[in-house]
Structure 1
Amino acid sequence: MTSRRDLFKYAAIATAAATLPSIGSASAPARIEKAARPLRILILGGTGFTGPFQVAYALARGHKVTLFNRGRRPSPEWPGEVEQLHGDRNTGDLKALEGREWDVCIDNPTSLPFWVRDAGKVLAGKVGHYLFISTISVYADGSQHGIDENSPVAPYKGSDAMAETQDTLRADIGNLYGPLKALSEAEARKQFGERTTIVRPGYIVGPRDDTDRFTYWPKRIAEGGEILVPGDGQDPVQIIDGRDLGEWMIRLAENGTTGTFNAVGPDYTLTTDAMVHGCHAVTGGPATFTHVPFEFLANQEGADFPIWVPRAGTPFSGYGTVSNAKAIAAGLTFRPLATTVAELLEWYRGLPAERQAEVRAGISREKEAEILAAWAANRG
C-alpha cells in the first residue's frame, strides 16, 4: 500500500507542457488578459511539470521570461520569446545568472538546501521576489485533519543537510525528502527574507503527468468492466491540476504575495467515490465499482493503488487532510475535475502506443481481476 511519505515524495516530478498551443486540449483556452505591469521573471527549471504552465501563462500575461536549467530536456515550442540560460546547480555552476537582475525568481526543482544557498549567493539583492515550490511532505505529522501552514515540519536527522546530494536523497528518499524540503524552505527565507513565497502542493495531476498516478484512474475507468475501488469510498483525495498551480504562481508574483501556502485542491471535499464517479461521468460506458476493504487488500501482494490512502481515524492508516483556505484566499482557483479528466485522457491517448501500454502506477488488469476474485471468494 502506498504510504503517506510515498504519496507525495515525487510531487514535483513529471514532464509537462499542456498549456502550450502546440499541445492541444479538449477545450479552447479562455482569453488571458495582460497583466497591469510586465515583470522580468526568472524560472529555475522551467521544462518539468509546472514550469511550462508558468511560462505559457506568463507570456500570455505579457511578462518577459528567462529559464535557467541544464538544457538536457527539449524545450516545448513556446508561444513567445523565452531567454534560455544554462548551468548546473549540482556543481554550483550559476555563472550565467551573475550580473543580472529580475523582478521575480520562481524555483521549481529544488529539493536540496545547498541549491537554495547557492542561488541566494548569486541572486540575493538581484531579484525582488523569490517563489519556492515545496511540498506538503514537509509536515511532521500527516495524520491530522486540516493541517495548516503553521503545523510543525519534519525534522532533519542527518549530520549535515548542506552536504546532502541527489544521490543521498535518492538513496533514502522516504526519510529525507520532506525534511530536506523543509530545510530548503528555511534557507529560502534566510537568503531572500520577507520577499519569499513558499508554495506546498500535494499531488499534481493533469495533462503531461508522466507518473501515471492519477492517470491510472480515468484510464482504467474508461476501459470499463468491474473496477476495484480500495476502501469504502470515503477516504479523502487532494489533488491539483498542474495548470492551476502554475498559473496561480504567476498571479502570486504579479500581486507580490508572500508567505506560505498549501496548494492542494479541490475547494470541496473529494472522496475516492467522488473521484471515480467523476471520472466515469467523463468516460461513460458500462462500468461497475467494487469496494474492497483495506484489511483485505493489506494481505494481497501488489495491491498498490495510487492517489489512495486510508483516512485518519481508521485502524489502518493515518492519512489526514491539508487546509487550502489560505491559498484560496490568495487567489488559488481550480478547474473542474471533469476538465482535468477529459484533457488528461486526450493527452494520454495521443501518446505512442508503447507508452500507453506501459504501466507506471497502479495495478495491471490481471492483478485487479485476481484480487477481485479472491475478494468474491472471501465473501462466500
Structure 2
Amino acid sequence: MRLLIIGGTAFVGRHLAEQALARDHAVTLFNRGRTNPGILPQAEHLTGDRNGDLAALRGRSWDAVVDTCGYHPRDVRHMAAALDGAVGHYTFVSTLSVYPDDAPAGVTEASPVAELAGDPEATEVSGESYGPLKVLCERALLDRWSGAALVVRPGLIVGPYDRSDRFTYWPVRIARGGEVLAPGDHDAPVQFVHAGDLAAFMLDLAEQG
C-alpha cells in the first residue's frame, strides 16, 4: 500500500509510520520538516504546509492518507481539496473531545457533539475550542471528500513519543515509591488508548480501504 501521512514525525503519526514501514508499505510523510527532522529515513519525506505550500503533493497519488494534525476546519478543507481524486481512503484523527464535557457515559456516533460559539475562521485553538473545532474538521472532510473516509475519535492517547508527560510522569513517579499526591476524583472514569494500538487500528482499516 502507498500510504501518505500528514505529520508522521511526532507522536501518533510516528507510531503509524513505523508500523506501516514494518508492514512493508511505501510510506510518504508530508509536513513542515520542523519536528524530528531526519528520523524514519526509510520513508519518503515531502516538505510543505497544509495551509500554504502544497506543491509537493501535486501530480502524486496514494492508496490511503492518514491526517494526524488537523485542528482547524481550514486545515482539512485545504488538504481534502488537494488530495481528492489522488487518494482512495482518507482517515482523519479527531478526538473524544467532540462530545460535550457533560456528555453521559456510553456516547456513540449519534450522540450530540459540541458546537462552536462564534466564527470558526476567527477562532484560535484553545482548551475550550479544541473539541468544537474538531467537529468542524470532521464536517469539512465529509462535505468535501468524494472517496472513502474514516473519522477516529480517540480519548486520552498515551505511549512513547508523547511530549505532554500527562501519562509518563505517573509510572516514573510511582516507581520512586513513597506517598504520591494525585489530583482529581479517584472515582472519575478515565479511558486511555495506547498510541501504538491506535496506529495499528487505523492502519488495519486503511489496508481494507
> What is the TM-score with the length of structure 1 in the denominator?
0.52
| 1:18-74: CA deviation from partner (whole Å, max 9, x where unpaired) | xxxxxxxxxxxxxxxxxxxxx110101111201111111111112101110001122
Indicate whether 1:134 and 2:87 are aligned: no
Equivalent residue number for residue 314 of structure 1: none
Match of 1:66 among 28, 52, 59: 28
CA separation in 2, counterparts of 1:210 and 1:55? 17
Equivalent residue number for residue 63 of structure 2: 103
> What is the TM-score with the length of structure 2 in the denominator?
0.93
Equivalent residue number for residue 166 of structure 2: 213
1:211-360 mapped onto 2 (5 Å cutoff): 211-230=164-183, 233-256=186-209
Judged with a 3 Å threshold, the aligned counterparts in structure 2 of structure 1 residues 71 and 223 are, in CA distance, closer, same or farther, namely same
| 1:321-344: CA deviation from partner (whole Å, max 9, x where unpaired) | xxxxxxxxxxxxxxxxxxxxxxxx
Indicate whether 1:116 and 2:76 are aligned: yes
The unaligned stretches of length 5 or more in structure 1 are 1-38, 257-380
Equivalent residue number for residue 327 of structure 1: none
Q: How far did 1:148 drift?
A: 1.5
CA separation in 2, counterparts of 1:232 and 1:192? 42
| 1:220-272: CA deviation from partner (whole Å, max 9, x where unpaired) | 2111112234566332120011111112111110112xxxxxxxxxxxxxxxx
Q: How far did 1:118 drift?
A: 0.9
Q: Which amino acid aligns with 1:191?
A: R
Secondary structure at the residue paired with 2:53?
A: coil
1:141-152 mapped onto 2 (5 Å cutoff): 141-152=101-112
CA separation in 2, counterparts of 1:77 and 1:199? 26
Judged with a 3 Å threshold, the aligned counterparts in structure 2 of structure 1 residues 142 and 40 are, in CA distance, closer, same or farther, namely farther
CA separation in 1, counterparts of 2:191 and 2:38? 29
Q: How far did 1:141 drift?
A: 4.6
Secondary structure at the residue paired with 1:51?
A: helix
CA separation in 2, counterparts of 1:189 and 1:48? 26
The unaligned stretches of length 5 or more in structure 2 are none
| 1:73-132: CA deviation from partner (whole Å, max 9, x where unpaired) | 224642x62111111123x21111111111101100110111111112211111100000
CA separation in 1, counterparts of 2:62 and 2:196? 23
CA separation in 2, counterparts of 1:54 and 1:180? 24
Q: How far did 1:189 drift?
A: 0.7
CA separation in 2, counterparts of 1:141 and 1:150? 16
Q: Is the 8 A contact 2:97 2:130 kept in 1?
A: yes
Secondary structure at the residue paired with 1:169?
A: coil
Equivalent residue number for residue 54 of structure 2: 94
Secondary structure at the residue paired with 2:129?
A: helix
Judged with a 3 Å threshold, the aligned counterparts in structure 2 of structure 1 residues 218 and 193 are, in CA distance, closer, same or farther, namely same
Secondary structure at the residue paired with 2:172?
A: helix
Judged with a 3 Å threshold, the aligned counterparts in structure 2 of structure 1 residues 139 and 193 are, in CA distance, closer, same or farther, namely farther
Match of 1:169 among 118, 124, 136: 124
Higher RCO structure, 1 or 2 (CA under 8 Å, sep 6+): 2
Judged with a 3 Å threshold, the aligned counterparts in structure 2 of structure 1 residues 87 and 229 are, in CA distance, closer, same or farther, namely closer
CA separation in 2, counterparts of 1:95 and 1:194? 22
Equivalent residue number for residue 185 of structure 1: 138
Secondary structure at the residue paired with 2:132?
A: helix
Secondary structure at the residue paired with 1:103?
A: strand
CA separation in 2, counterparts of 1:143 and 1:120? 30
Indicate whether 1:52 and 2:14 are aligned: yes
CA separation in 1, counterparts of 2:102 and 2:63? 35
Q: How far did 1:194 drift?
A: 5.4
Q: Is the 8 A contact 2:65 2:87 kept in 1?
A: yes
Structure with the higher helix share, 1 or 2: 1
Secondary structure at the residue paired with 1:228?
A: coil
Equivalent residue number for residue 155 of structure 2: 202
Secondary structure at the residue paired with 1:198?
A: strand
CA separation in 2, counterparts of 1:137 and 1:115? 18
Greater Rg, structure 1 or structure 2?
A: 1
